[in-house]
Amino acid sequence: MCGIVGYLGYRNAQDVIVSSLQKLEYRGYDSCGLAILNSENKIEYMKTAGKINDLKEMLIEYRIPGNFGIGHTRWATHGKPDDRNAHPHSDGDSSVWIVHNGIVENYQELKTELEYKGYKFKSETDSEIIAFLISDLLKQEYSFVESVEKTAEVITGSHSVLAMADKDMRKVIGFRKGHAGGLVVGYGNDEMFIASDMSAIGEYTNKLVYLESDQLVILGDNSASYKDIGGGYFEPDHSFIEVPDTHFSKDDFDHYMIKEIIEQPRSIYNSLSNKIIFNDDKIEFEDFILPNDFTKDINRIILTGMGTSLYACEVGQYFIESLANIPCQTEDASELRYKDSPIDENTLLISVTQSGETADTLGAMSLFQTKGCKQILISNSVGSAASRIADIEININSGIEIGVASTKSFTGSILSLLFLAIKLGTDKSTLSIPEAESLILDSTKLPDLMNQVVEMNPQIEMMAKKYSKYNHFLYLGRGLNKPVAFEGALKLKEVSYIHAEGYSAGQMKHGPIALVDNNIPVIAMALTDNYYEKMRNTIQEIKARSGILIGLVTKGNYDLDGLIDDVIEIPECPKYLTPFLTIIPLQLFSYYIALELGYDVDQPRNLAKTVTVE
């Protein structure tokens, strides 16, 4: 889950690489570095534990002149995030330099072979071995291209790699195997770029070539040639991409996370605005076509994703089952990709991924592609690796999300799923057009309803201060709010490093209630819906055991006074809209607790925005 970048041109390579790496920091921020071919034709490097700003500081003191180079921002897999394990890595003679995203699954075995040949390693990483393998082949008189290609064939797992060698100085060779964050080549005027994704190089060029798995590119002075690994050279297709919204500003907010929570009424409005149009007695998506017979033979739907996107899928499952009456299941993509699921061409896969680059989600999508299944993608990143697999892409349209903890993309994803469920319902005639129209009309109230919840910001901030001393939390919900409970607990874990668990309230008696005492606040979603009485009973049972309770209740319901310690009032709304509202106070609660504890809210420890390795 690292970001990699290469530059060959006339500008100062250090400046281009650092600025591009900053845009890739969402992929990892444990350490970073670069290697540059300097004006005396020597490869120089600089690397450090820490973030790109630290590297930037070092490079102010020590500028490396040169117009060719590679860079890396790391999310540590093998070896601590220290200077020694930072990329780029070189062979023992510093004649080959590489940056790598992925995991060399057979590295132990390869390392032993190389050690047997007398090579000595400097780092604890699996990546370093790639530089040694290339170097060893160069010593056997293979060309640089052949050495990289043979190395690509020998290492197992998923990879994106860039390599430079002093034997063939004015070249950068890149290759991609499997799904490890992708590689895109950018054509400028008299300059070439290569990066993990277009966001890193979009300010310089929009003429791009995406490398597919098992392809290699040889970049030189204003040139690029493409080769299948172990095969022949080929001419690639170029894409001309409209560079997406790269509004990276925090505006007046202290952090991206709070900005992205607070702007949800607007982002949901944007999500709404590109969705549905009525066409006589049909409903169509505005930004893409779902062919008429697309769902005709579909008899089963699997929804998949990871993290927040997985919980969005669970909400989507409720929507689809109740509005379209199609058997649905939600599966963690990291499990689904290795499962022997009974799937065939009548199974529809719906993948949800904010980034469109999550390795496990891509793995599941690739598997379903081989089985001939139809696929719909729900994503916030147009033109991602996932969009190149799916048949149909629904754009969440929430705007770029920078905070590592997903917030507005959750509400954007569930809105897309709600509309997809409505469309499937009308296609399958489980929903009449007036019923669908009324649901869509309801959804147009979301910006206003969400705004009412966002206005509770100061109240939630106070509450977070009060509860920040606790080390454990339970989140309970039922129905549509069960996945919200899981998502609320995930948010708290991610940014404030506090242990939190989500449960369906019905599970409490089956074990978790043993945890209840006055040290573990329980956040219970008890809206006035068909689960209310059951939820009330659970709350009562927790109270009877001296539990501490925060209740999310429908505005104006005072029935739980005396049972709950703190209340968060959610405006009354149609049932399908509740998860859009209940999640906001939980996001705010996590943000303010993390702030109170003094943590880096936008870049929490051990995490990365996009998880491009398994």
Residues catalogued as catalytic = 2, 609
Does 361 help bind ligand M6R (rule: CB under 6 A)? yes
Nearest distance from C-beta of residue 305 to ligand M6R, angstroms:
6
Nearest distance from C-beta of residue 353 to ligand M6R, angstroms:
3
- Beta-carbon contacts of residue 21 (< 8 Å; ≥ 6 apart): 3, 5, 32, 34, 52, 55, 71, 72, 73, 200
Does 353 help bind ligand M6R (rule: CB under 6 A)? yes
Does 610 help bind ligand M6R (rule: CB under 6 A)? yes
* Contacts of ligand M6R in 508-547 (CB under 6 A): none
- By beta-carbon proximity to ligand M6R, the closer residue of 500 and 560 is 500
- By beta-carbon proximity to ligand M6R, the closer residue of 359 and 553 is 359
- By beta-carbon proximity to ligand M6R, the closer residue of 98 and 405 is 405
Does 494 help bind ligand M6R (rule: CB under 6 A)? yes
Rounded to an integer, what distance in angstroms lies between the CA atom of residue 601 and that of residue 476? 24
The binder of ligand M6R chosen from 184, 211, 217, 405 (CB under 6 A):
405
For 163, the enclosing helix (H) or strand (E) is strand 159-165
Q: DSSP for 58-93?
A: HHHHS----SEEEEEEE--SSS-SSTTTPSPEE-TT
578-596 and 481-496 helices, crossing angle to 10°: 20
Helix (H, G, I), strand (E, B) or coil at 496: helix
Does 355 help bind ligand M6R (rule: CB under 6 A)? yes
Rounded to an integer, what distance in angstroms lies between the CA atom of residue 240 and that of residue 67? 25
Nearest distance from C-beta of residue 472 to ligand M6R, angstroms:
20
Dihedral (Cα; 490, 496, 501, 504), 10-degree rounding = -60
465, 587, 468, 568: which is closest to 526 by C-alpha? 568
* Contacts of ligand M6R in 542-561 (CB under 6 A): none
- By beta-carbon proximity to ligand M6R, the closer residue of 270 and 309 is 309
Please choose, out of 120-128, 319-327, 401-409, 425-433, the segment that lies near ligand M6R by the rule CB under 6 A: 401-409
Nearest distance from C-beta of residue 610 to ligand M6R, angstroms:
6
Please choose, out of 20-28, 353-361, 508-516, 580-588, the segment that lies near ligand M6R by the rule CB under 6 A: 353-361
Please choose, out of 35-43, 404-412, 538-546, 575-583, the segment that lies near ligand M6R by the rule CB under 6 A: 404-412
H-assigned helices in 97-246 = 107-116, 128-139, 144-154
- By beta-carbon proximity to ligand M6R, the closer residue of 445 and 605 is 605
Nearest distance from C-beta of residue 67 to ligand M6R, angstroms:
34
Instruction: Please say whether the beta carbons of 579 and 414 come within 8 A.
Output: yes
Total residues interacting with ligand M6R, rule: CB under 6 A: 16
Please choose, out of 252-260, 399-407, 499-507, 541-549, the segment that lies near ligand M6R by the rule CB under 6 A: 399-407
- By beta-carbon proximity to ligand M6R, the closer residue of 165 and 484 is 484
- By beta-carbon proximity to ligand M6R, the closer residue of 283 and 586 is 586
- By beta-carbon proximity to ligand M6R, the closer residue of 285 and 591 is 591
The binder of ligand M6R chosen from 67, 123, 267, 406 (CB under 6 A):
406
Q: Which amino acid is at 465?
A: K
- By beta-carbon proximity to ligand M6R, the closer residue of 31 and 353 is 353
- By beta-carbon proximity to ligand M6R, the closer residue of 33 and 502 is 502
Does 404 help bind ligand M6R (rule: CB under 6 A)? yes
- Beta-carbon contacts of residue 438 (< 8 Å; ≥ 6 apart): none
484, 492, 460: which is closest to 594 by C-alpha? 492
* Contacts of ligand M6R in 210-239 (CB under 6 A): none
Rounded to an integer, what distance in angstroms lies between the CA atom of residue 52 and that of residue 73? 8
Nearest distance from C-beta of residue 548 to ligand M6R, angstroms:
25
Nearest distance from C-beta of residue 523 to ligand M6R, angstroms:
17
| Long-range interactions of 123-126: CB distance < 8 A, separation 24+ | 123/79, 123/84, 123/85, 123/89, 124/78, 124/79, 124/80, 124/84, 124/85, 125/77, 125/78, 125/79, 125/85, 125/87, 125/89, 126/77, 126/78
Q: Is the peptide bond before 88 cis (omega within 30 degrees of 0)?
A: yes
578-596 and 408-427 helices, crossing angle to 10°: 170
Please choose, out of 31-39, 121-129, 194-202, 403-411, the segment that lies near ligand M6R by the rule CB under 6 A: 403-411
* Contacts of ligand M6R in 566-595 (CB under 6 A): none
Q: How many CA atoms lie within 13 A of 124 on its CB side?
A: 9
Nearest distance from C-beta of residue 312 to ligand M6R, angstroms:
8
What is the gyration radius of the CA atoms in the chain, in angstroms?
Answer: 26
- By beta-carbon proximity to ligand M6R, the closer residue of 405 and 595 is 405
Task: Find the residue with minimal CB distance to ligand M6R.
Answer: 307
* Contacts of ligand M6R in 120-139 (CB under 6 A): none
11, 20, 12, 14: which is closest to 3 by C-alpha? 20
Burial 357-391 (b: 16+ CB within 10 A, else e): bbbbbbbbbebbeeeebbbbbbbbbbbbbbbbbbe
Rounded to an integer, what distance in angstroms lies between the CA atom of residue 79 and that of residue 86? 9
Nearest distance from C-beta of residue 361 to ligand M6R, angstroms:
5
Rounded to an integer, what distance in angstroms lies between the CA atom of residue 192 and that of residue 35? 16
Q: In the numeric block, which tokens belong to residue 163?
A: 């390599």
Sign of dihedral through CA atoms 537, 512, 463, 250?
Answer: negative
The binder of ligand M6R chosen from 133, 283, 611, 613 (CB under 6 A):
611
* Contacts of ligand M6R in 256-315 (CB under 6 A): 305-309
Instruction: Please say whether the beta carbons of 32 and 21 come within 8 A.
Output: yes
Nearest distance from C-beta of residue 319 to ligand M6R, angstroms:
18
Nearest distance from C-beta of residue 283 to ligand M6R, angstroms:
26
The binder of ligand M6R chosen from 270, 354, 538, 612 (CB under 6 A):
354
Rounded to an integer, what distance in angstroms lies between the CA atom of residue 367 and that of residue 362? 9
Rounded to an integer, what distance in angstroms lies between the CA atom of residue 588 and that of residue 591? 5
Nearest distance from C-beta of residue 390 to ligand M6R, angstroms:
13
Please choose, out of 86-94, 270-278, 349-357, 561-569, the segment that lies near ligand M6R by the rule CB under 6 A: 349-357
Rounded to an integer, what distance in angstroms lies between the CA atom of residue 532 and that of residue 520? 22
- By beta-carbon proximity to ligand M6R, the closer residue of 14 and 73 is 73
Please choose, out of 114-122, 347-355, 440-448, 556-564, the segment that lies near ligand M6R by the rule CB under 6 A: 347-355
Return residues touching ligand M6R (CB under 6 A): 305-309, 353-355, 358, 361, 404-406, 494, 610-611
